[in-house]
């Protein structure tokens, strides 16, 4: 059985495939479907965006589709960047530009502001018959204003885990997959294991 991962983000695809390496499915992604329809992520929640992506790609491929919508939420910044995490500094923003925007906004806050942050992820699984399964995962940490580490992607260099004394970007993929928001959400969908 094949599941199509509704993403062209190579980093996200690699992480999902790694987490699901022991499942009974094989995986492809939108990188394997160059003519896939464009998807405008205009939902107001992670759930809406994930389901929209999965439905569109399931209709296009006729296959089971897994879609992820995730983001970094910082309470001190009114939960920004949130659902706009991938395009926080603009539609074509790089990881580095998005990180820089978070750091710049945070530096304008009072010095004693809480650095509490959460990574949130919603996974939607849509079947060709229209059936939908979903799950949410959360990982709690803090923002560090000094990026650290070379692993991971996105905001990983500034997402600090006090219990481990490391950022996500300082963890190996295997270590990150034990605790990440994406891993938590995927493991809740027991039908894919």
Measure CA 23 to chain center.
20
Total length of the chain: 193
Distance CA 168, CA 180 (A): 9
Cα of 26 vs its chain's centroid, Å: 20
Q: Are the CB atoms for 149 and 7 separated by under 8 Å?
A: no
- Contact (CB, 8 A) for 179 and 172: no
Q: Catalytic residue among 42, 69, 91, 129, which?
A: 69
- Is 35 a known active-site residue? no
Residue 177 DSSP SS3 = helix
Q: Alpha-carbon distance 152 to 18, whole Å?
A: 13
The catalytic residues are 69
């Amino acid at each position: 059985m094949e599941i199509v991962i509704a993403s062209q983000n190579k980093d996200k695809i690699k992480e999902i495939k790694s987490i699901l390496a022991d499942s009974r499915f094989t995986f492809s992604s939108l990188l394997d479907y160059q003519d896939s329809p464009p998807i405008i992520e205009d939902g107001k929640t992670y759930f809406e965006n994930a389901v929209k992506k999965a439905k569109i790609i399931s209709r296009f491929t006729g296959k089971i589709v897994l879609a992820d919508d995730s983001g970094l939420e910082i309470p001190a910044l009114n939960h920004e960047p949130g659902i706009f995490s991938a395009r926080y500094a603009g539609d074509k923003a790089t990881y580095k530009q998005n990180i820089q925007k978070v750091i710049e906004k945070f530096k304008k806050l009072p010095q004693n502001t809480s650095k509490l942050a959460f990574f949130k992820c919603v996974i939607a699984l849509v079947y060709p018959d229209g059936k939908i399964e979903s799950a949410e995962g959360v990982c709690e940490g803090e923002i560090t204003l000094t990026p650290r580490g070379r692993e991971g992607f996105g905001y990983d260099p500034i997402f600090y885990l006090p219990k481990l004394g490391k950022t996500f970007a300082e963890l190996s993929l295997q270590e990150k997959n034990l605790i990440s928001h994406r891993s938590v959400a995927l493991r809740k969908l027991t039908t894919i294991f």
